[in-house]
Amino acid sequence: MANVAVVGSQWGDEGKGKIVDWLSTRADVVVRFQGGHNAGHTLVVDGTVYKLSLLPSGIVRPGKLSIIGNGVVLDPSALLDEMDRLADQGVQISPDNLVIAENIPLILPLHRELDEAREAAAGSGKIGTTKRGIGPAYEDKAARRAIRLIDLADPDYLAARLEGLLAHHNILRRHYDLAQIDAGELAGDLLAIAPKVLPFAAPVWQKLDNMARAEKKILFEGAQGTMLDIDHGTYPFVTSSNTLAGQAAAGSGIGPQALNYVLGITKAYTTRVGSGPFPTEQDNETGQKLGERGAEFGTVTGRQRRCGWFDAVMVRQAIVTGGISGIALTKMDVLDGFAELKVCIAYKLDGKRIHRLPASAHDQARVEPVYESFEGWTRSTRGARSWADLPATAVKYVRRLEELIGAPVAMLSTSPEREDVILMRDPFKG
C-alpha cells in the first residue's frame, strides 16, 4: 500500500483541505509536516464547515490518528484555541487521536509582535505575511535559539533557554520600540500552558516508523504551495518553510522511501494572496468574476485573493521540483459559463520566449504570459462525479492541461462537497 504526500502546486489555496479530507477517510494517519497556523484548510463534512489552521485535516474523522511533525512551528495558544473551536463543533481531541512531535519549535508572542513590527516598517516592500510569527520562529530554529515543546517539561532548562533567546530578541525589540520582555514572566506563561500541551508530545519519528512497519496508510498533508517554497518559490515573496513533498520526510522524521505517491493539488485557474509576481493575474472584470464565483478569500486572514488564468508553465515547474506523480484539479465548476478560457503556455522576457519562471525577482515581475485560448462551456460541471457528466469542452480543457503540465489528472473536484470528485487513480494504490 502506498503512502501519499499532498502538496499545493501553485501559491497555496488550491483546495487541499477538501482533497486531504477525502483521502483521510482512506488513511490511518494524517501528518502535518511544515508551516504553522498561517495555513488555512476549509472542510465541508455532511454540511458542516470546519476551518483548520494548524491541526491535520484527519482530526475531524473518528478513528484517525493526527500528527503534527517537527517541521511545523507550533503556537501553543493558537493550538488550544483551535481545539476549543472544534470541541464546540463536537470534535473530540485527546492524546489518543492527536500526537505532536516533542522536538517541534514553538511560536511565542514575541515572534508575532516582531512579525507585525517588521511588516509595518517595510511599507510598500512588505512581504504580505499573516503576521502570526511564522517567519521569526523559523529564524530562531535555524539559529538554534528556539524553544521546543519538550523544553516545557524542564523549568530550569527552559529558563536558561529563554535567557539566550531574549538576549537576541530584546535587542531587536528596542529597534522597533517594543517593550522589553522579562524572562521570568515569559517562563511563567509557558509553564502555565505546559500541562495542556505536553500530554500530546511524543517521538513522532518512532511512532511513524511503527505505523509504516505495520503497513498503515500514512497521508502527509502539506500547507501553502510550491511557489511559496523558501527555496523554489517566488523569493522573497514566499513562506518561511519548504513546501515541497521532500519536506514530508524531514518534517516528520520518516525516510523519503516512505513517500510513494505525491499528489499536487492544482486549481483550474490561479490565485495568490499577498504581494509578489503573478504573471497571469487578471486585475479586471475576469479576475473579479473568478474571485466572486470561487469565493476567493483566505481562510486564515480573510484577505481577498488575486485571481487569474491557469499558468501551465508554473505548474509544470512545480511538478518537476516537487516530484509530483499526478494532480487533483480543483474548482472546475468556477469556470462554468465563461465563453472563452485562457491558459499560459509560455512567457516572454525581453522579447524571448521561455518555459520556466526565472529565479530573479526582477525578471519574475517582468515576464509576460503567452496564452492559448479555449472554448468555454455553458453546462454546469458542479457536482459531477464521472467524465460523462462533463461537457465535451470541459474534458478537452482538462486533457490539454495534462499535456501542458506533463502530469496526469488523478482526481477532479467539482464542488466543495467531499464526494463531488471524479477519480481516475487512487493515490493510495500507487
Cell of 3: 503512502
* β-bridge partners, 422: 412
Please provide the distance, in angstroms rounded to a whole number, between the alpha carbons at the two ends of the chain.
Answer: 7
Q: Is 276 left (phi over 0), alpha (psi -120 to 50) or beta?
A: left
> b or e along 133-153 (b: 16 or more beta carbons within 10 Å of the residue's beta carbon)?
bbbbbbebbeeebbbbbbbbe
Residue type, position 40, single letter: G
Which DSSP category does 74 fall into? B
Cβ contacts of residue 14 below 8 Å, gap of 6+? 8, 225, 265, 266, 267, 330
| Cα radius of gyration (the chain) | 22
Residues in the chain: 430
- Using an 8 Å Cβ cutoff, are 332 and 412 in contact? yes
The three-state DSSP-derived secondary structure of 253-300 is CCCHHHCCEEEEEEECCEEECCCCCCCCECCCHHHHHHHHHCCCECCC
Catalogue the active-site residues. 13, 41
Supply the DSSP string of 144-179, one letter for each residue: T---BGGGGG-HHHHHHHHHHHHHHHHHHHHHTTPP
CA dist 257 → 172, 208, 212 (Å): 42, 13, 11
Q: How many helices (H) and strands (E) does the chain have?
A: 12, 18
The cell numbers describing 298, all together, are: 483566505
